[in-house]
Amino acid sequence: MKLRRFKILKENIRGQEVVLEDPAEIRHLAKALRLKPGNPVILFDGEGKEFQAQITGISSQRVLFNVINESVHETSESPTEIILGIGILKSTKLDWLIQKTTELGVHEIIPFYSLRVIPRREEIAGQTRLTRWQKIAAEAAKQCGRAKIPKIQPPCSFAEVLAAFPESTRIFLWEKEKSRTLQDALHSPGSKVFSLVGPEGGFSQAEAKQAEESGFVPVRLGPRILRAETAGLVIVSLLQFLCGGLR
């Protein structure tokens, strides 16, 4: 029998007892999966810890588990932290990209505004869209066996994203770069690689210059022009392969 995985809050781990209080997860566990007391499960806290546990009680408000032991499965995290800065895309495209790059092992995602971003700030103001992005990442981590959920940051300005992670290896995808490849830029990647991908319209010439002045190296991904969401997926995949996360 396949062991089902459930995300639990770190503060709900109380010694050997764990409490699940998320209504959606409770319904999924009890109604869709029809799990019962005594069934074994895997629990993870979203910060890297995973536990083998057994259901001890189910009600409409909570599910109780008893921890059997901390899992000793092979880590699903990559040896290099990959951070993806992505120009904000139309809703479903960014949702899809967050899901797929989570499955690929991205460490952090930073959506940003730039000149050619199509969605207006007021369209994604407030917490609603960020909460949905975080939920998508949590569900994807649960599905693919990750114990750590990638951080999804609130949308920021182009200047703010350029200032982030100054200690990392920093690259940006630039369709006008003629020769430098990703391998050229990763001769010594270090423990963090920060990659910027522009929105649907790409980066402007001025933004590309700003990025270079901030220490980002422009790279090309071949002769074809990729959609922004495709480029985001490809760069994370290639970085995982080159840095060891897909080997």
Whether residue 73 has pLDDT greater than 70: no
**DSSP character for 119?**
S
How far is 90 from 35, CA to CA, in rounded Å? 38
CATH of the domain at 220: 3.40.1280.10
- At 164-215, the pLDDT tens digits run 999 999 999 999 998 898 988 887 767 899 999 999 889 999 999 999 999 9
Residues contacting residue 130 through CB under 8 Å, at least 6 positions apart: 152, 154, 155
Residues 99 and 121 in one domain: yes
Residues 123 and 219 in one domain: yes
Residues 87 and 48 in one domain: no
Which of 179, 172, 104 minimizes the C-alpha distance to 140?
104
Query: Is residue 145, in this structure, part of any structural domain at all?
Result: yes
How far is 155 from 94, CA to CA, in rounded Å? 12
Last residue of some domain: 70, 104, 126? 70
Last residue of some domain: 19, 36, 70? 70
Residues contacting residue 20 through CB under 8 Å, at least 6 positions apart: 6, 8, 12, 26, 29, 62, 63, 64, 65
How far is 197 from 88, CA to CA, in rounded Å? 10
Q: What is the reported pLDDT for 212?
A: 96
- At 92-132, the pLDDT tens digits run 899 999 999 999 999 999 999 998 887 666 555 556 788 99
Residues 85 and 134 in one domain: yes
Confidence of residue 224 (pLDDT cuts 50, 70, 90): confident
Count of domains for the chain = 2
Residues 11 and 132 in one domain: no
How far is 9 from 63, CA to CA, in rounded Å? 13
Confidence of residue 70 (pLDDT cuts 50, 70, 90): confident
Instruction: Give the structural domain span for 93.
Output: 81-243
- At 53-68, the pLDDT tens digits run 999 999 999 999 999 9
Query: Is residue 183, in this structure, part of any structural domain at all?
Result: yes
Query: Is residue 91, in this structure, part of any structural domain at all?
Result: yes
In three-state secondary structure terms, 22 is coil
